Amino acid sequence: MNAARILVVDDNPINIELASHVLERDGFVVAGASDTALATARVQDFAPDLILMDIQMPGMDGLELSQRLKRDPSTWHVVIIAFTAYAMKGDEAKMRAAGCDGYIPKPIDIATFAASVRAHLSESAVS
């Protein structure tokens, strides 16, 4: 079985580095993107199984990119997980309405982070 491919989209390079390190140690193949323009290109060339999508970014935000990816016939199947500290009441509903398949809060718990990502992948395989 091939290792799952994870794209981490976040405008904070430290968040990309930490998430990548934890996920790579757990056997995932990981790429990062620091903005939505780069993320759009990486989705095409990296072909991720799952995207960890920061919501608040300069320019196009993560929700808008999620909507675009879910409308595109070539990327609608990619699991998109909102990856953000932006977690007010009602925000998860907005994230799901934009096409996000789930939510993982920041800051991450390094002890459970990879398992959470793996669980989201497993849920999508069942759906």
pTM: 0.93
Domain 5-126, CATH:
3.40.50.2300
pLDDT tens profile 40-61? 999 999 999 999 999 988 888 9
CA angle 9, 113, 2 (to 5 degrees): 75
pLDDT tens profile 72-121? 999 999 999 999 887 667 777 888 888 999 999 899 999 999 999 999 99
SS3 content of the chain, % helix, strand, coil (to 5): 45, 20, 40
| Boundaries of every domain in the chain | 5-126
Q: How far apart are CA 24 and CA 6, in angstroms?
A: 9
Q: Which residue has the tokens 């939505």?
A: 36
Judged against a pLDDT cut of 60, whether residue 1 lies above it is answered with no
Judged against a pLDDT cut of 60, whether residue 16 lies above it is answered with yes
Report the pLDDT value the prediction gives residue 126, as an integer from 0 to 100: 55
